[in-house]
Structure 1
Amino acid sequence: MSAEAADPGAPLRRRSRPRIDLRRLGRVALRGPVSRDRLPDAISHVAEAHRAHHPDADLAVLRSAYLLAESSHRGQKRKSGEPFITHPLAVTLILAELGAETTTLTASLLHDTVEDTEVTLDQVEQQFGDEVRYLVDGVTKLEKVDYGAAAEPETFRKMLVATGNDVRVMSIKLADRLHNMRTLGVMRPEKQARIAKVTRDVLIPLAERLGVQALKTELEDLVFAILHPEEYEETRALIAAADREAALDTIADDVRHTLREAGISGEVLIRPRHFVSVHRVRGKRGELRGTDFGRLLVLVGEDADCYAVLGELHTCFTPVISEFKDFIAAPKFNLYQSLHTAVVGPEGAVAEVLIRTHRMHKVAEAGVVALGNPYAHDAASPPAEPSDERADPTRPGWLSRLLDWQESATDSDTFWTTLRDDLAQDREITVFRTDGGTLGLPAGASCVDAAYAQYGDRAHTAIGARVNGRLATLSTVLGDGDTVQVLLAHDAASGPSPDWLDHARTPAARIAITGWLADHPDEAKPGPESAAPAGPGLPGSERPAPAAPDGGAPSAAAPARTRSGPRATGVVVEDPEASVRLAGCCTPVPPDELTGFVVRGGAVTVHRRACRAVAAMREIGRAPVEARWEDAEGREPEAGCRVTLVAESFGRPHLLADLTEAIATADAAIVSATVEPPSEQRVRHTYTLRLPDAAGLPALMRAMRDVAGVYDVSRAQHPAPAG
């Protein structure tokens, strides 16, 4: 493997600075102590990079941290044979070049001392303060995490707990991993592959979420070279053969001329794509043109200038409208802001263009690292009150959610599955709440996810939503920029349906739903997403399990899906010891005529005799069980009854609110509700309701029919299954 193949990040770094010779730094570091008024030569590169971002930074604390780290690590060697001190120096240099503030750099210099030397956390705190101690302690805990098995569920959990409330801990860890990946060549191939896989599965997604693109892209290239050496070598050869900058020079000059003519002050740069980016573009487009190896970057002073540049480009060039994205008006969840567009250049070549302010570019490259010390605020401009996902850069919304639900995910398999799914999301959407806040959700998230993101466990009572002002089911997939209002039922005893798991993309939603279903095995209700009427076997109905070959109990291979009614059901069956459940498909109430069927586990599910599922049961050879309502004088105290009603209506504004009010006025509680998409101006609402007494059912149905626009209200009746 060539030197460049072993270190794919090298050409990227050479464009911004000379390669630092770590062996030379090691020799410098071993020269011994220096005078108190002079900065050690070994950290001169760190000081230079730090002062470039923070001209007024006090370097004395970095000097003290370096001297402690050097003396503590003296005599220790890396596997490459270099003095160990070169590692914390290199990690700190990475962070300094990204613009990290002094506290982070101090902790970075000391990040291995507590783990690998006699230095204690108390010593760190005494000399450098409690904030540096907190960061060093967090990184030390991350060092203790066993990354040996990428599929170990507790790995991520420990990382999140160790990160705690400050993402600067993870920033140091990412820089630490980057330097280790740069020097991975001394390891055995199998160990290189293991470390590369964990980097791919664990740290690269976290770098994306922290917005640290400079670290993410180099880590991607290093992993690419180790795990896919043949494809990497093909890509390297393509890049070496292409004159990347020349292909974009002509368009760049035209853009510069256009901006000068318009009086817009801006810098136009050519940004070569990194290896993985070129590989992805090749997979998408096949044969590559010269402009595919890089993109144009336009840097301006103010937000308004970004849109001015966009206007000029779309006026003076032929734009590719499908490539336009506005991440300034709607920033990504990881703080990224930029305008993306593409224009057609000479001979039909398409050039992608990124338009940002200098501040946006700094954050795009360094993410949270570029935000400075979040605890140091100018007294004249105190921090704003938290209002949305991005209020606290040390604990962005996604990290808060991960920390919250990792505590509630007691099952390791559930934790691991949901976390991997979450990290696999390559982008996040921003959804606006009607109360003015925002929600950050993964692409493909539904109203179910929005409900749990906004309300937590209160979302168990969700019955629907409004998306962009229109009624929608909980399964509705949300788009970036949508406005959502989640509708909750007044009945706090209601809960989610198993069907909700089909629409939940976020760990918070999946864990909350799974936990509720596990705690309420006899109360799983048909969800608001069930169509009404729905056939047996569809969500929200009872599907008869196929009979066993001997005509006996149903096969365990096809379990029945049932929903239980109240425990004091007021129903008598042949076996007084049998558990009795009221069928969810027809929700019988007195004085309905009844019949029952034994389901798996020995329970008896009771249907209305007129229920179509009864005929289906008989057709497959299921023997009915006699069932009747208990006499009033012998009946135990009732806990109310449940019934499912279907309201047919003409669509109009405020219909759902008026129907909900009519139901509440009749002293009924909504357990679940479905609003089907309008068809020919007609809307079907399906409600599962709890009434204090079945005698109130006729009055309830009359009250619902009296609502303007409602032309029929009937008891739910599911169609019989085919065959």
Structure 2
Amino acid sequence: MSAEAANPGAHSRRRGRPRLDLRRLGHAALLGTPARHRLPDAIGHVADAHRAHHPDADLAPLHQAYVLAESSHRGQFRKSGEPYITHPLAVTLILAELGAETTTLTASLLHDTVEDTEVTLDQVQREFGAEVAYLVDGVTKLEKVDYGAAAEPETFRKMLVATGNDVRVMSIKLADRLHNMRTLGVMRPEKQVRIAHVTRDVLIPLAERLGVQALKTELEDLAFAILHPAEYERTRVLIADNTAAGAVLDEVAERFRTVLKDSGITAEVHIRPRHFLSVHRVSAKRGELRGTDFGRLLILVAEDADCYGVLGELHTCFTPVISEFKDFIAAPKFNLYQSLHTAVAGPDGAVAEVLIRTHQMHRVAEAGVIALGNPYSTAEGGAEPAEAADGERADPTRPGWLSRLLVWQEATPDSDAFWSSLRADLAQDREIAVFRADGGMLGLPAGATCVDAAYAQYGERAHACIGARVNGRLAALGTVLKDGDTVHLLRADDDARELSREAVSGPSPDWLDHARTPAARIAITAWLAAHPEGTDLPAAAPRGPVPVAVDRPAGANALVDLVGEDTDSGAVVRLAGCCTPVPPDAVTGFPVRGGVVTVHRQECPAVGRMRSLDRKPVPVRWGDATGCRVTLVAESFGRPRLLADLTDAIATEGAAIVSATVEPPSEQRVRHTYTLHLPDAAQLPSLMRAMRGIPGVYDVSRTQHPAAAG
């Protein structure tokens, strides 16, 4: 295997300084405490990188932090055999090269001390101050002993909350994960896959949203190599077989330099090789690649106006591909990114992509919020940042998308639900920019609707929305938005005069059909659960203790008896969609409009809310169950007899297979979907445990929308 194949980040780093040899780091770390007032040899390179960005930086805190970190981690070793201190040193070097300020680097050196040594948070605060202590606490993991399986999602929840106050917390976490991913080869394969999944689903989208492209691209390549080894190897071979691509790009770059010099524009023209995942994506999009497809041309200038001057010269002297032009200077991306994007075609039809930006834009494009330094220094006198006119925080190191994410996570106390919602939210490509009527801008995922825009802009105040104007024309809230659309959301409290309407009390259930973002779905679901009277009015209590058949929504699977003294032999019983009760859950019912009784699990939050509204419950119980139908998804590594073993386990548990699908294997991973009929719903946990026990199966879960009962 080539060096690049063994180290997938190497290709991404060819355009930057080489990574320091960890053995040399370890040797320097083992030399012991340095003489008084002399910077330790082990962090000399960190100091050099730091001073390159901050020439007047005080290095004393770094000296002090290294001495504490080295002494507290002494005797600890990584799985690779290197002294543990090499890890915080490497993480700090990553941040130093990106231009992080001294406080961040100090906290980075100490980031594992509270978690893994006898050092306490109080000690860190006494010796280094409240800011450093806050950052160290923010990246300290929660103990599995205390939280069990919820430790990882709750740790990320804690980090996000801390990041909401100081974005440097996530900067340290991203650098920490990058170094861990670089050295992941010493872990067991299944642990590599688990860590790479979380990196892909959570850390990489966070790096993208914070604009830290230098970390994002290398993390992408490292995760790509682990999760899709065959596709990664094909891409590596493709790059290796196209060594002439560099010469082709050099020729284009030289032509650009000549044109710009002749026009009197001072500019630097650089070649940006695509990283592995980028080459893979371009290959999947364009098929056979030409030399210019293996990189892009980066043009750096001094002023914003020069960017447009360069654009004019290129479009005059070469054939522009107009569909590729995007202006992210006039309309920056939500993650602070600014550049002009264009592409020009050569005489042979080969297309060269071009990025045009100032030196400062380039620094922010590479390092994102890390390049902005200390968030506390952005507000005069250290005061809390002011609110902008559009409701977003004026401080760019505390972005609005993070504030909205923190709002919906507060409404999701359950760890599993939070973890699923977080990964779903971050998995959405934020490809479209939607302009607000007041001139602000919203970053939304492709496929987002006016409902999503409403909750992104107004939060819970979006409950009062009654319609929208998209590009000046009246539109329904379910209208799908496109990149560049201007949306004016109409709310009952201030825009009702624009539409004729009935009385508006809040969102209707069909809004959920149009909501694509977790923020919107969670807010709508919470409102509907808290206001059942919004769609169903209270009814008289039913009469007569007789069993009635359930009017089944998707997922209902048994009979329910009404057991009150005053019940009706015509009442219809529905299972609540908010908590989807199944036998043998403890349940209670509430009468709603039309003689319908809605059945909830007793621990459902909606039960407490309805009791607080003096809604009288109706006693209910499960009647004679006729069995239930459920759809399960099994995720597994491919191997011989896997399908037979799974079906045997299902049959042994007494379940009947109604239907089954097996998706084509992808990188030795297989997804099986089974719709099953169980004689008794109480068998479901046992069945899922039996399926998880099959060798090669690493997860079994219910589908989000269970199949209807048969």
TM-score by structure 1 length?
0.71
Conserved 8 A contact 1:464-1:471:
yes
**1:499 aligned partner:** 510
Task: Provide Cα deviations, 1:450-500, integer angstroms capped at 9, x if missing partner.
Answer: 222232222222111122322221112223343322212249861111111
CA, structure 1 residues 525+258, in 2 after alignment: closer, same or farther (shift >3 Å)? farther
Task: Provide Cα deviations, 1:402-433, integer angstroms capped at 9, x if missing partner.
Answer: 11111112455654443333111222433333
**2:399 aligned partner:** 396
1:62 & 1:54 partners in 2: Cα distance? 14
CA, structure 1 residues 386+232, in 2 after alignment: closer, same or farther (shift >3 Å)? same
**1:170 aligned partner:** 170
Higher mean displacement: 3-12 or 223-232: 3-12
Amino acid at match of 1:516: W
Q: CA RMSD in A?
A: 3.2
CA, structure 1 residues 210+143, in 2 after alignment: closer, same or farther (shift >3 Å)? farther
CA, structure 1 residues 289+489, in 2 after alignment: closer, same or farther (shift >3 Å)? same
**2:330 aligned partner:** 329
**2:230 aligned partner:** 230
Look up the SS of the partner of 1:135 in the other structure.
helix
1:183 & 1:157 partners in 2: Cα distance? 25
- CA apart distance, 1:154: 4.8
Conserved 8 A contact 1:397-1:440:
no
CA, structure 1 residues 604+435, in 2 after alignment: closer, same or farther (shift >3 Å)? closer
Q: Give 1:479-628 correspondences, 5 Å limit.
A: 479-490=482-493, 494-524=505-535, 556=552, 605=594
- CA apart distance, 1:11: 3.3
Conserved 8 A contact 2:103-2:132:
yes
1:455 & 1:145 partners in 2: Cα distance? 40
2:154 & 2:8 partners in 1: Cα distance? 31
- Answer yes or no: is 1:439 the counterpart of 2:442: yes
- Answer yes or no: is 1:473 the counterpart of 2:469: no
- Answer yes or no: is 1:110 the counterpart of 2:110: yes
Q: Which has the larger radius of gyration?
A: 1
Conserved 8 A contact 1:332-1:429:
no
Which of residues 384, 387, 405 in structure 1 aligns to 2:408? 405
Task: Provide Cα deviations, 1:191-222, integer angstroms capped at 9, x if missing partner.
Answer: 21221122112211111111111111111111
2:25 & 2:591 partners in 1: Cα distance? 76
**1:187 aligned partner:** 187
- Answer yes or no: is 1:68 the counterpart of 2:64: no
Identity of aligned residues (%): 78
1:229 & 1:559 partners in 2: Cα distance? 38
**1:367 aligned partner:** 368
**1:622 aligned partner:** none
Which runs of 5 or more structure 2 residues have no equivalent in the other structure? 494-501, 538-547, 557-566, 573-588, 596-710
- CA apart distance, 1:557: 5.6
Task: Provide Cα deviations, 1:618-657, integer angstroms capped at 9, x if missing partner.
Answer: xxxxxxxxxxxxxxxxxxxxxxxxxxxxxxxxxxxxxxxx
Task: Provide Cα deviations, 1:86-121, integer angstroms capped at 9, x if missing partner.
Answer: 000000000111111111000000001111111111
Conserved 8 A contact 1:145-1:159:
no
Amino acid at match of 2:69: A
**2:616 aligned partner:** none
**1:197 aligned partner:** 197
**1:119 aligned partner:** 119
Conserved 8 A contact 1:150-1:201:
no
Amino acid at match of 1:320: V
2:516 & 2:145 partners in 1: Cα distance? 27
Conserved 8 A contact 1:193-1:226:
yes
- CA apart distance, 1:523: 2.6
CA, structure 1 residues 367+145, in 2 after alignment: closer, same or farther (shift >3 Å)? farther
**2:251 aligned partner:** 250
- CA apart distance, 1:6: 2.1
CA, structure 1 residues 230+71, in 2 after alignment: closer, same or farther (shift >3 Å)? same
TM-score by structure 2 length?
0.72
CA, structure 1 residues 156+112, in 2 after alignment: closer, same or farther (shift >3 Å)? closer
CA, structure 1 residues 504+125, in 2 after alignment: closer, same or farther (shift >3 Å)? same
**2:358 aligned partner:** 357
CA, structure 1 residues 56+441, in 2 after alignment: closer, same or farther (shift >3 Å)? same
1:323 & 1:195 partners in 2: Cα distance? 35
2:352 & 2:536 partners in 1: Cα distance? 54
The total of aligned residue pairs comes to 549
Conserved 8 A contact 2:249-2:291:
yes
Which runs of 5 or more structure 1 residues have no equivalent in the other structure? 527-551, 561-574, 581-599, 607-723
Amino acid at match of 1:186: V
Amino acid at match of 2:510: D
**2:453 aligned partner:** 450
**1:95 aligned partner:** 95
2:384 & 2:408 partners in 1: Cα distance? 27
Task: Provide Cα deviations, 1:642-676, integer angstroms capped at 9, x if missing partner.
Answer: xxxxxxxxxxxxxxxxxxxxxxxxxxxxxxxxxxx
- CA apart distance, 1:281: 0.7
Higher mean displacement: 57-66 or 448-457: 448-457
Look up the SS of the partner of 1:348 in the other structure.
coil
Conserved 8 A contact 1:578-1:604:
no
2:338 & 2:424 partners in 1: Cα distance? 25
CA, structure 1 residues 497+127, in 2 after alignment: closer, same or farther (shift >3 Å)? same
